[in-house]
Amino acid sequence: MTNRNETTPLPTSDPLAPAVDVPRWWQSGVVYQIYPRSFADGNGDGTGDLQGIRSRLPYLSALGVDAIWVSPWYPSPLNDGGYDVADYRDIDPRFGSLAEAEAFIAEAHELGLRVLVDIVPNHTSSEHVWFQEALASEPGSAARDRYIFREGRGPDGALAPNNWTAVFGGSAWRRVADGEWYLHLFEETQPDLNWENESVRAEFDDIFRFWLARGVDGFRIDVAHGMVKDQSFPDLEHSEGLLENSQVLDHPHWDRDGLHEIIRRWRGILDESGRDVMMVAEAWVHPHRLPLYLRDDEYHQSFNFEFLETQWDLVGARTAIDDAIRAAAEVGSAPTWVLSNHDVMRHATRLGLPSGTAWRAWPLDGPHDVLDTVLGLRRARAASLLLMALPGSMYVYQGEELGLPEVWDLPVDVLDDPVWRMSGHTHKGRDGCRVPIPWTREGSSFGFGANGAWLPQPATFGPLSVESQTGVAGSTLELYRSALHLRRTLFVDDQRFEWVDLATDVLAFRRGSGVVCIVNYGDASVALPAGDVLIASQPGVTTELPAGAAAWVRPNGT
Ligand code: GLC
């Protein structure tokens, strides 16, 4: 902390209404996302597991997060990294057992950490008993009606029922032996469920109750804008971008009005539990439609991907912040913030690419010499500090606290994400952000496990490991630890927020505690207002904030 005496004036602008008066845990907390395959491998089989996660709970507690969201851990062929669920009420043996999941939940609770599980309602795995039954049953049978089977077009039905495409590429329809086609908006082993069918709805009611009974504190709902389809199955009039869930209005399979009745049903189940539980939607919908999902009797919150989609750009950042705060305030919810997850390029790399780079295609298409990794990490640290200072809650993806880069240059023969195959080898997919976490400087898989890792880690992971960064002043890990602890005292109880106009190229806002967060989007250093620099994204910040840096300052007199 640096005490300063300069007197740079600190002008103010009109305050935005506070999003929430007294935040509940999920309205202000920090949720840490674990992608179980890649977090920590306790049994040395190269794949992360519950034993590994449990052994790292003290690390998460010390990091200063409030909750853990575990990506799917259910029995699965792992054709889509576990988002292809074969049984919603059990744990994949590679990850552990149900008893271990229960032990994990209890241990997390003892450390004051809440637990969110991932629910995947749009589709099951083709290995789910229901789909196996459907395949073994006649067209028109009750078993088939749990999924979306249709006859094909053309004289012998050899053409797909319509032109819908899978998010990962190719047609969204696959033909089975007796000639019918089934819909899969994702991989072909992820058949879409038929949410018009009451037995599907009842099954998910029960799945929610199952996990509530095991003590979970919340749910992340996968593809929350999916499920309901236009029952006339019309052709799409536009083409869909790969991995980009289009946000057009009145889309035949995204963001349909009929979804809300399902959401209210789930919300009723959560409310009935009488516990302080929540559900968060992964809904890639038009920003104007998002508040509909956040009405009182629907989701508690939704990921907000607008900030993630902006690059290093002051106007874009400010717009995304305003939009999220306003949208949340409209429905009495709280905004959420996220920079990385298991589906997108890690932000330490994304922010090191020139503005306008199509980062989903860049790992394959390049040009690769435009990447500035030093700049990327500098901006990533600043962006994280910025998000941690905002009102609302934040989602942190495993490894971002280490400043891990995207491993964009994985050799194609190790790629596991179905996107690589289904895109016709035009997109490498999402493996680059799923490379196992380095815990130690050296050793087999840098401490991830005793016998290597399911995806190769680059040599650069050693110096970025938890061991290498622990206790090292200025490391990204120590920055996260300090910032997350400070955040609890500075930014949680009082959710007020107001923009402050400081200088061109500078984004600044004051929070209810009086602390000001300042981010320098320009190319030159800027003078900081007089006061105490509580934390900065770069070491040695006292009176000046370097380009690409952020700081939290308590102005003199507050
Ligand atoms: C969500 C998940 C993603 C998965 C897809 C299909 O977008 O985050 O990883 O591939 O849904 O379940």
Task: Give tens-digit pLDDT for 286-319.
Answer: 878 889 999 999 999 999 999 999 999 999 999 9
Residue 22 confidence (pLDDT): 65
Q: Which atom of ligand 1 is nearest to the CA of 284?
A: 7
Which of these, 97, 154, 465, 119, lies nearest to 270 by C-alpha position? 119
Pairwise CA distance, residues 235 & 252, whole Å: 8
Residue 2 has pLDDT above 90, yes or no: no
pLDDT confidence band for 13 (50 / 70 / 90): very low
Considering the chain, what is the average pLDDT of its residues?
94
Active site residues: 222, 272
Q: Which residue ranges form the domains of the chain, and what is each CATH number?
A: 1-19+498-558 (2.60.40.1180), 25-121+198-479 (3.20.20.80), 124-194 (3.90.400.10)
Is residue 192 lining ligand 1, measured as CB closer than 6 Å? no
Among 80, 117, 188, 192, residue to substitute to test ligand 1 (most atoms within 8 Å of Cβ): 80
Residues 6+ apart with CB under 8 A from 486: 534, 535, 552
Q: Computed from CA positions of residues 250, 315, 243, 73, in that sequence, does the dihedral angle turn out positive or negative?
A: negative
Q: How far is ligand 1, taken at its centre, from the CA of residue 433, in Å?
A: 14
Is residue 222 lining ligand 1, measured as CB closer than 6 Å? yes
Residue 273 confidence (pLDDT): 95
Residue 4 confidence (pLDDT): 36
Q: How far is ligand 1, taken at its centre, from the CA of residue 222, in Å?
A: 6
Q: How far is ligand 1, taken at its centre, from the CA of residue 133, in Å?
A: 24
The model's pLDDT over 196-213, given as tens digits with 9 standing for 90+, comes to 999 999 999 999 999 999
Q: How far is ligand 1, taken at its centre, from the CA of residue 223, in Å?
A: 7
**Residue 336: beta bridge partners?**
393
Query: Per mean pLDDT, which range of 50-64, 208-222, 232-246 is the poorest?
Result: 232-246
Q: How far is ligand 1, taken at its centre, from the CA of residue 213, in Å?
A: 25
Which of these, 483, 529, 533, 539, lies nearest to 508 by C-alpha position? 529
Q: Which atom of ligand 1 is nearest to the CA of 186?
A: 6
Pairwise CA distance, residues 318 & 229, whole Å: 35
| Nearest alpha carbon, ligand 1 atom 7 | 223
- Cβ distance 406 to 363 under 8 Å? yes
The model's pLDDT over 74-130, given as tens digits with 9 standing for 90+, comes to 999 999 999 999 999 999 999 999 999 999 999 999 999 999 999 999 999 999 999
Please state the rounded mean pLDDT for residues 249-267. Answer: 95
The model's pLDDT over 405-422, given as tens digits with 9 standing for 90+, comes to 999 999 999 999 999 999
Q: Compute, in degrees rounded to 10, the torsion defined by CA atoms 340, 343, 345, 346.
A: 30
Please state the rounded mean pLDDT for residues 547-557. Answer: 96
Pairwise CA distance, residues 246 & 250, whole Å: 11
Residue 8 has pLDDT above 60, yes or no: no
Pairwise CA distance, residues 43 & 108, whole Å: 20
Q: Sheet containing 173-175: which strands, arranged edge to edge?
A: 149-150, 181-183, 173-175
152 vs 18: which has the higher pLDDT = 152
Pairwise CA distance, residues 240 & 250, whole Å: 14
Is residue 84 lining ligand 1, measured as CB closer than 6 Å? no
Q: Sheet containing 15-16: which strands, arranged edge to edge?
A: 15-16, 497-499, 506-511, 516-520, 550-555, 531-536
| Nearest alpha carbon, ligand 1 atom 12 | 83
Residue with structure tokens 């999916």? 226
Residue 165 confidence (pLDDT): 94
Pairwise CA distance, residues 244 & 344, whole Å: 11
3-state SS track over 261-319: HHHHHHHHHHHHCCCCCEEEECCCCCCCCHHHHCCCCCCCEECCCHHHHCCCCHHHHHH
Residues 6+ apart with CB under 8 A from 272: none
Pairwise CA distance, residues 342 & 238, whole Å: 27
Please state the rounded mean pLDDT for residues 330-349. Answer: 95
pLDDT confidence band for 249 (50 / 70 / 90): confident
The model's pLDDT over 460-471, given as tens digits with 9 standing for 90+, comes to 999 999 999 999
Residue 275 has pLDDT above 90, yes or no: yes
Please state the rounded mean pLDDT for residues 384-403. Answer: 98
Which of these, 69, 174, 194, lies nearest to 123 by C-alpha position? 194
- Cβ distance 165 to 239 under 8 Å? yes
Residue 402 confidence (pLDDT): 98
Is the bond preceding residue 367 a cis peptide, omega within 30 degrees? yes
Q: Which atom of ligand 1 is nearest to the CA of 122?
A: 12
Q: How far is ligand 1, taken at its centre, from the CA of residue 500, in Å?
A: 38
- pTM summary value: 0.95
Residue 1 has pLDDT above 70, yes or no: no
Residue 71 has pLDDT above 50, yes or no: yes
Is residue 80 lining ligand 1, measured as CB closer than 6 Å? yes
Residue 461 confidence (pLDDT): 98
Please state the rounded mean pLDDT for residues 63-72. Answer: 98
Is residue 186 lining ligand 1, measured as CB closer than 6 Å? yes
Residue 240 has pLDDT above 90, yes or no: no
Query: Per mean pLDDT, which range of 11-15, 31-35, 94-98, 255-259 is the poorest?
Result: 11-15
Residue 429 has pLDDT above 90, yes or no: yes
Is residue 223 lining ligand 1, measured as CB closer than 6 Å? yes
The model's pLDDT over 117-165, given as tens digits with 9 standing for 90+, comes to 999 999 999 999 999 999 999 999 999 999 999 999 999 999 999 999 9
Name the percent of the chain lying above pLDDT 90.
Answer: 90
Cα–Cα distances (Å) from 318 to 234, 287, 331, in that order, read: 38, 15, 21
Which of these, 547, 548, 517, 534, lies nearest to 377 by C-alpha position? 548
pLDDT confidence band for 389 (50 / 70 / 90): very high
Residue 331 confidence (pLDDT): 87
Pairwise CA distance, residues 519 & 506, whole Å: 6
Name the percent of the chain lying above pLDDT 70.
Answer: 95
